[in-house]
A and B are shown apart, each in its own frame.
Chain A
Amino acid sequence: MKYKVLLPSGLLDGQNANQLRHDVADSVAQGINTIKVDFKDVSFINSSAIGALVATLKMVRASGGEIFLYSLNDQVKMIFELTKMDQVFKISNDRTDLEENFAVIS
């Protein structure tokens, strides 16, 4: 199964989350709609980035695909929990965990 891995880094804000949205859109256009986003290098995420991520998620799901997030640091994880985004996204602790949880994409 084909998938795409994205590795954003630093402070994820509206601007670079929108860049991520564009990258995902390109991938979906090429027929790859299973997206893994590795958060290990993301230090912080603001509200604009969350909006852009959700917009990305909607776009991917509309194409029949899915986005998986993993390796979120504690701070980022807490923001996802506070905003209840953990209920919307499929989130795993790390890559192994992700492959166990969602066998389809290993």
Chain B
Amino acid sequence: MTTSQKKHTPLVLVADDDRSTRILLRVILQRAGYEVVEVENGAHCLTAFAQRRPDIVLLDAQMPIMDGFDCCRCLKQMPGGDRVPVMMITGLQTPQDIDQAFEAGVTDFVTKPIHPPLLSQRLRYILKSSQAEMALKESEGRYRSVVENLKEVIFQTDLEGNLSFLNPAWTEVTGFAQEDFIGKPFLEFISSDDREKLWLQFQQIFLGELSECRIESRFLTQSGNIGWMEAFFCTLRSQKRKIIGLSGSFSDITERKNREMLEKELQRYHQQMCLELSQAAEYVRALLPPPLIGDVTISHLFKPSSDLGGDVFDYYWLDPDHLVIYLLDVAGHGVQSALLSISVLNVMRSRALQLDALYQPAIVLQELNRIFQMGIRGDDYFTMWYGIYSKVDQTLTYASAGHPPALLFKPDHTVQQLNVGGIAIGLMPDMMYEQGSCHIETGSRFYVFSDGVYEIFQANGRLWEFEAFIDLIAVYQHQRINHLESIFAQICQIKGSNVFDDDFSLIQIDLNTPQMLCNQNAEEVQTSR
């Protein structure tokens, strides 16, 4: 039993005007396992064929109304008729009859008188081959539809690299007609920059050194553009396993490739930007003063943000008795902010201000506010804290332009915020600044910093608070920890990252007692040994 017989009982349509022959045929066929439909002439046969869709037709040659030959011809014209085998039963055996039968489209014939085992054998054989043919046609059809509907181009070349096969996707991808390229070198449509690279691969495949390869290459389209393809090539062999060319496929990846190239370009641009920003940050860092040692010890921590925040600071002895300390923070980020902070630093260092003025914090801020008025966009202004410490008087005089207060930690562990009114420099012209002053006994320590040290968003998305920063610093005073790095480490932990959105600048100023100075000197001697 064949596979399809398992599925369904084959249906045989019998057309014969002789009733006894029909009965005989039915008995033979039913015994052989077929289902049978009987009709008595050619015309009825056509109707029954259309209605029942038989797997095979048995036709008597001589019938009234429409004989077997005419009937067969008509059957072959009907939908599905060309696929159904027709077997003719004939009493005649002349060569003309046989020719006529095959001309009419008959698959095979048997002669009367009917020999039952022979008929069943013949039928089985015909059905089997008809099923096999149908299966083949179906698979061919499927294959053709796959090849024709693929978005991927499929091609074959001979050993010279001339195209011998192309599917319709070729036209869709390249715009060229299939027939225009058959017989032409495949490389003719490859961009000249990539031809040599591809030809080397082809040769390796033709020589059998390479069985397959995958490659990206540029190709030319009919409209004159250049596209990108991802191609796969492999050896094409004859049935005798001889290499006769190559088979390949490729798909159009132009869009993806363009996107990738754009991304790469952006990445390169971004890297360049980052590099320039970090160079600028290094430049700013180089301008900052080194730590100070002596009656007053100063250390600092400066961590520029990835996109440069615009912090800058300085401290130095104006005269043997007066120490200047200031820190400024330009609004916004990037090179523009850094440039403004550097130009303020230059103005301060070049002594563009009167020397007398430098002893008066409020005057310094007023003068800077006069020089640096912002533009209409409002993105070029800065906050600043400026203080001057007199060693003789143990007095700190200070002023602030919208800057966070400095924090003073006294020897008795109390904390004082060194705060005084005043808005950022550049915002409003003709501002008058106030100044405050306080007595600072030796053994005290104070901090000057930018808002970047406390204005941070924590991992949970909430803003950290200034008060929390004060508490954190206070704990460090109790523990007598001197390393600013450990404060930074703890703040990083609070932020959940060591990457900051703004510059982190923290200056620690110690006003040493004679005892502390002694210790400091002893430490130095020890290190120098």
List residues of A whose CB falls within 8 A of some B CB: 14, 17-18, 21, 44, 47-48, 50-56, 58-59, 75, 78, 82-85, 87-88
Contacts and interface: CB of A to CB of B under 8 A. Distances in A.
B423 A55 contact: no
A75 B463 contact: yes
Interface string B424-439: 1011100000000000
Contacts of B329: 47
Contacts of B381: 51, 54
B332 A48 contact: yes
A78 B451 CA distance: 13
8 contacts: A14-B331, A48-B331, A51-B377, A52-B377, A54-B378, A83-B424, A85-B423, A87-B421
A82 B404 contact: yes
Given A75-B463, A84-B402, A85-B402, A52 B378 contact: yes
Interface in B400-453: 402, 404, 421-424, 426-428, 451
A35 B426 CA distance: 23
Contact of B379 (A14, A56, A78): A14
Contacts, number: 71
A78 B463 CA distance: 12
A54 B379 contact: no
A48 B423 contact: no
B380 interface: yes
A47 B378 contact: no
B378 A84 contact: no
A55 B331 contact: no
A59 B374 CA distance: 13
A52 B379 contact: yes
A88 B463 contact: no
B332 A82 contact: no
Interface of B: 329, 331-332, 374-381, 383, 402, 404, 421-424, 426-428, 451, 463, 466
Contact of B421 (A58, A59, A78, A84): A84
B374 A51 contact: yes
B231 to A, nearest CB: 46
A20 B345 CA distance: 32
Given A14-B332, A82-B404, A51 B421 contact: no
A47 B377 CA distance: 13
Nearest to A85: B423
B377 A55 contact: yes
Given A48-B379, A59-B376, A78-B466, 11 more contacts: A14-B332, A47-B424, A48-B378, A53-B378, A55-B376, A55-B377, A56-B378, A83-B383, A83-B423, A83-B424, A85-B402
A56 B428 CA distance: 12
A60 B403 CA distance: 26
Contact of B374 (A44, A55, A82, A87): A55
Identify which of A14, A21, A47, A82 gathers the most chain B CB atoms within 10 Å of its CB. Answer: A47
7 A-B pairs closest in CB distance: A55-B378, A51-B378, A47-B331, A83-B402, A52-B378, A84-B423, A54-B427
A51 B374 CA distance: 9
Nearest to A56: B378
A47 B333 CA distance: 10
Given A84-B422, A84-B423, A85-B423, A50 B377 contact: no
A58 B427 CA distance: 9
Contacts of A14: 331-332, 379
Contacts of B427: 51, 54, 88
Contacts of B426: 51
Identify which of B376, B383, B426, B427 gathers the most chain A CB atoms within 10 Å of its CB. Answer: B427
B38 to A, nearest CB: 86
Nearest to A51: B378
A50 B463 contact: no
Contacts of A56: 378
Contacts of A51: 331-332, 374, 377-381, 424, 426-427
A97 to B, nearest CB: 23
Nearest to A43: B463
A21 B331 contact: no
A103 B392 CA distance: 54
Contacts of A48: 331-332, 378-379
Contacts of B380: 51
Contact of A88 (B374, B423, B451, B466): B423
A21 B378 contact: yes
Contacts of A18: 377
Contacts of A85: 402, 423
Nearest to A58: B428
B254 to A, nearest CB: 35
Contacts of A78: 466
